[in-house]
Chain A
């Protein structure tokens, strides 16, 4: 089922918005025990908005997402519905305002089914660091869903919603989309308002969409993007209907293959599938050019230094005074926030706070933070050069497909390494879309990413669409 088809069914009254919403709520009730993709299901709110959506439809005022059931990653603030960041720290935190993207969805009459599971404070790529338990991969529940938007990707993959809002700081949306065999788009930095997104690393964070197809992600992206006076980092650039290129001929497109993205660290079956997709584009007339990113090997370190530095500062506000978890221990202000933070945060969050503070300390600032920013500048330059030679590039989304749950989070450095294919895009603020391009011998999905120039969402959505049209996806049976 696609959003467009469902739109027609709703508008032609073949199905009612309430009926559709209830169908999804029932399915979540039945199936999500196995997946654990939702932390909170906002049943009552969903039913109320379904009734309102039906009124919009009945009065002929339906918009593209009216009545379409959507899930929201639990680091995006929803008024009156608790927003936990999958952390004990915010276990009982209920925002008093809606994120801009939520207001926009509500304006369209979209149905918000609930809040999806994730790595704690979006730190991780397995969704195992959640205070609410690990998300399981709908293709095989013994496997991780990826992360940090694991719940978002799994909820789409298991058909527990039509589309999901996720967030991407270093690959957090594309990698789980790839692991769960669905499509995920991380827009250009500044295309979607971050107001109401609980920050991990403000320089890299972007809200994006996970959907069943490139076009579906486009519909949702259309709804949530655009200028917002509450976010000073948003762009005033308008990029119009991102689905407006869908179906256009791409045979004149120049596709870059960055050789560093196909190093030994990438699994063979991943390389094979992604190169298979490249061959497909070649077969329809695209020119394939080999390009290079010499600073690729430094990107991951630079990303982790800067994102941890920003996170250490962004997460300092959780002191238990105004909201969130507060420890009963500790007599002085300092003792109390120390115990609050010690008890409220999980290990990976603490690890990154320490890492970030270390990188920002007077003694090490130049060695770590400053050098990391230099690497980021260099990577941006190298992307500029690459995009002077081609229109889009194709990379693996992750070095591996989803792995077994017991193998996740074993070796932290190795886990961080899972972001190697995605972080450069966040560093350069570019748009990228991940779509399934193959399966491992264990039938786990493999994803490729199409990266475009800033605000070239139209181009990458169309390129992904052309591929998806020809590629046979294996459906989840659950």
Chain B
């Protein structure tokens, strides 16, 4: 039988606050085990969590970036469960009153609804040794948002586009660094299938903690296959939580939800509700940077870049910022785009550096592109100059002078060369005057031959045209 998959996502993103959500410990990745813990995040008796206001601001920014309603009132609840990575034996989360609701993202022309975004705290990490298990509480209390979508996805491609788009928006909004390999963004997928033509949703399985686009794709693929095979032989899918094994691209049962945990949620009495006014929301909205979806429109509609090129630049926020600053100074959008996408990215890949590590400024790049556009240096020379800028950080003009890459722009010299060629080739001059335009190329070739590579082609062209009139 043919089945239609129905997919929903729960995305956990760690917020880019400098400290944890309920205590003063640093919010960082890595480091020695249990080096960023205190009496509050270790749940020593008598300690009380105090909410980090910055986490609230970032959650609101996340909400704004996906067109959510920001709720003036939201509140925390306790989710009770025993597990060694949770020192309080409950997680502080927002169950009944989340901070953001009713958002959406359009991917490939389809509207994917976001049910809610809520704030919660991350748990510690278990480290399993041969016969003992240890706990590292460094991550315990790191602020998270959980973004919950409606089951609006029908294909793996839609899921991928959505995850890529939301990742980009969270990065732009400064909410999360989206280092999936470090776990700063993790995706849970809910997958169910129903026979084609049916309208009743099937039983879903939840695959937890997927930390790459590849795993997300493989896990969904496997799940659709597994569930289809079950239904084909007349068995039923049970509602459960599953784990993805990336060594063989399969999922396996983690725990059945039918003997479900009762988390005994109740309002968190230690943390007062979040009250946020429209004015405060408006202030946060005003502080939002230009978002990727806005940039895409600007790059394609205003700057005339091809959509694929625009997306390539936008995919890296720092690069896109660099591009924007460069075209602010020299507004040849296309040539700046070309040098960035071809030359700059190549240099970055070769040296495996990031935009943040550049030792030259957008102003330097703008100057270089202008020099090339004006024929002061050749296009090839511009590449060489960029390479030197990249390594040594010198100014493009200094490099051009030092490396003798400046083209000959001495009009008298060029004119005498042209005069010489014209006098030697009267037939060709006649052909040109008869309308054979391609003879122009022959003349340019002759000029280059006579003058060597170092002549300003733009100037030569202009002068030649004048002479041939």
Partners in one complex: yes
Interface membership of chain A positions 84-100, coded 1 if the CB is closer than 8 angstroms to chain B and 0 otherwise: 01000010010111010
Which residues of chain A have C-beta atoms less than 8 A from B47's C-beta?
A: 195-196
A96 partner, pick from B44, B49, B78, beta carbons under 8 A: B44
Q: Which 7 A-B residue pairs are closest in the complex by CB-CB distance?
A: A316-B89, A360-B264, A202-B269, A203-B269, A196-B46, A198-B45, A77-B46
- B45 with A361: CB separation less than 8 A: no
Known A319-B82, A361-B262: A232·B50 in contact at CB below 8 Å: yes
Expressed in whole angstroms, the minimum distance between the Cβ of B22 and any Cβ of chain A is 9
Expressed in whole angstroms, the minimum distance between the Cβ of B349 and any Cβ of chain A is 46
Q: Does B87 interact with chain A (Cβ within 8 Å)? A: yes
- B80 with A360: CB separation less than 8 A: yes
Q: Does B454 interact with chain A (Cβ within 8 Å)? A: no
Which residues of chain B have C-beta atoms less than 8 A from A309's C-beta?
A: 266
- A316 with B46: CB separation less than 8 A: no
How far, in whole Å, are A369 and B50 apart by their CA atoms in the complex? 25
12 contacts between A and B (CB under 8 A): A95-B44, A199-B46, A230-B50, A232-B271, A232-B272, A309-B266, A313-B90, A316-B80, A317-B43, A317-B45, A322-B87, A365-B266
Known A196-B46, A313-B78: A321·B84 in contact at CB below 8 Å: yes
How far, in whole Å, are A43 and B253 apart by their CA atoms in the complex? 58
- B135 with A323: CB separation less than 8 A: no
Interface membership of chain A positions 352-379, coded 1 if the CB is closer than 8 angstroms to chain B and 0 otherwise: 0000010011100100010000000000
Which residues of chain B have C-beta atoms less than 8 A from A316's C-beta?
A: 80, 82, 88-90
Q: Does A168 interact with chain B (Cβ within 8 Å)? A: no
- In the complex, how many residues of chain A place their beta carbon closer than 8 angstroms to a beta carbon of chain B? 43
How far, in whole Å, are A218 and B199 apart by their CA atoms in the complex? 69
Q: Does B48 interact with chain A (Cβ within 8 Å)? A: yes
B270 partner, pick from A77, A85, A202, A322, beta carbons under 8 A: A202
Interface membership of chain A positions 317-329, coded 1 if the CB is closer than 8 angstroms to chain B and 0 otherwise: 1010111000000
Expressed in whole angstroms, the minimum distance between the Cβ of A442 and any Cβ of chain B is 38
Known A97-B39, A317-B45, A323-B44: A231·B50 in contact at CB below 8 Å: yes
Q: Does B237 interact with chain A (Cβ within 8 Å)? A: no
Give the dominant DSSP class at B's interface.
Answer: loop
- A229 with B50: CB separation less than 8 A: yes
- In the complex, how many residues of chain B place their beta carbon closer than 8 angstroms to a beta carbon of chain A? 30
- B269 with A77: CB separation less than 8 A: no
Q: Does A233 interact with chain B (Cβ within 8 Å)? A: yes
- B45 with A95: CB separation less than 8 A: yes
Q: Does A83 interact with chain B (Cβ within 8 Å)? A: yes
- A97 with B89: CB separation less than 8 A: no
B202-231 residues with Cβ-Cβ distance < 8 A to A are none
Interface membership of chain A positions 226-259, coded 1 if the CB is closer than 8 angstroms to chain B and 0 otherwise: 0001111100000000000000000000000000
Which residues of chain A have C-beta atoms less than 8 A from B265's C-beta?
A: 360, 365
Q: Does A194 interact with chain B (Cβ within 8 Å)? A: yes
- B49 with A232: CB separation less than 8 A: yes
- A357 with B264: CB separation less than 8 A: yes
- B264 with A313: CB separation less than 8 A: yes
How far, in whole Å, are A309 and B77 apart by their CA atoms in the complex? 13
Expressed in whole angstroms, the minimum distance between the Cβ of A204 and any Cβ of chain B is 9
- B89 with A317: CB separation less than 8 A: yes
* Interface contact tally, CB-CB below 8 A: 102
How far, in whole Å, are A362 and B49 apart by their CA atoms in the complex? 26
> In chain A, what residue has the closest Cβ to B261?
A362
How far, in whole Å, are A195 and B265 apart by their CA atoms in the complex? 23
B39 partner, pick from A83, A96, A313, A357, beta carbons under 8 A: A96
- B269 with A310: CB separation less than 8 A: yes
A114-142 residues with Cβ-Cβ distance < 8 A to B are none
How far, in whole Å, are A254 and B78 apart by their CA atoms in the complex? 42
- B262 with A194: CB separation less than 8 A: no
Which residues of chain A have C-beta atoms less than 8 A from B87's C-beta?
A: 317, 321-322
Q: Does B281 interact with chain A (Cβ within 8 Å)? A: no
B46-91 residues with Cβ-Cβ distance < 8 A to A are 46-51, 78, 80, 82-84, 87-90
Which residues of chain A have C-beta atoms less than 8 A from B51's C-beta?
A: 232
- A319 with B49: CB separation less than 8 A: no
A85 partner, pick from B39, B45, B88, beta carbons under 8 A: B45
- B270 with A232: CB separation less than 8 A: yes
Q: Does A46 interact with chain B (Cβ within 8 Å)? A: no
- A93 with B48: CB separation less than 8 A: no
- A232 with B266: CB separation less than 8 A: no
- A313 with B266: CB separation less than 8 A: yes
B48 partner, pick from A90, A230, A337, A365, beta carbons under 8 A: A230
Among B39, B48, B90, the most chain A Cβ lie within 10 Å of the Cβ of: B48
- A322 with B269: CB separation less than 8 A: no
Expressed in whole angstroms, the minimum distance between the Cβ of B318 and any Cβ of chain A is 36
How far, in whole Å, are A230 and B46 apart by their CA atoms in the complex? 11
Which residues of chain B have C-beta atoms less than 8 A from A321's C-beta?
A: 84, 87, 135
* 5 further A-B pairs in the complex, CB-CB below 8 A; given A313-B78, A313-B264, A322-B42: A95-B45, A97-B39, A232-B50, A317-B87, A322-B44
Q: Does A334 interact with chain B (Cβ within 8 Å)? A: yes
Which residues of chain A have C-beta atoms less than 8 A from B90's C-beta?
A: 313, 316
Expressed in whole angstroms, the minimum distance between the Cβ of B24 and any Cβ of chain A is 10
How far, in whole Å, are A90 and B45 apart by their CA atoms in the complex? 10
Expressed in whole angstroms, the minimum distance between the Cβ of B421 and any Cβ of chain A is 83
How far, in whole Å, are A333 and B89 apart by their CA atoms in the complex? 13
- A197 with B44: CB separation less than 8 A: no
Which residues of chain B have C-beta atoms less than 8 A from A360's C-beta?
A: 80, 264-266
Which residues of chain B have C-beta atoms less than 8 A from A99's C-beta?
A: 46
- A369 with B266: CB separation less than 8 A: yes
- A231 with B48: CB separation less than 8 A: yes
Which residues of chain B have C-beta atoms less than 8 A from A317's C-beta?
A: 43, 45, 87-89
Expressed in whole angstroms, the minimum distance between the Cβ of B138 and any Cβ of chain A is 14
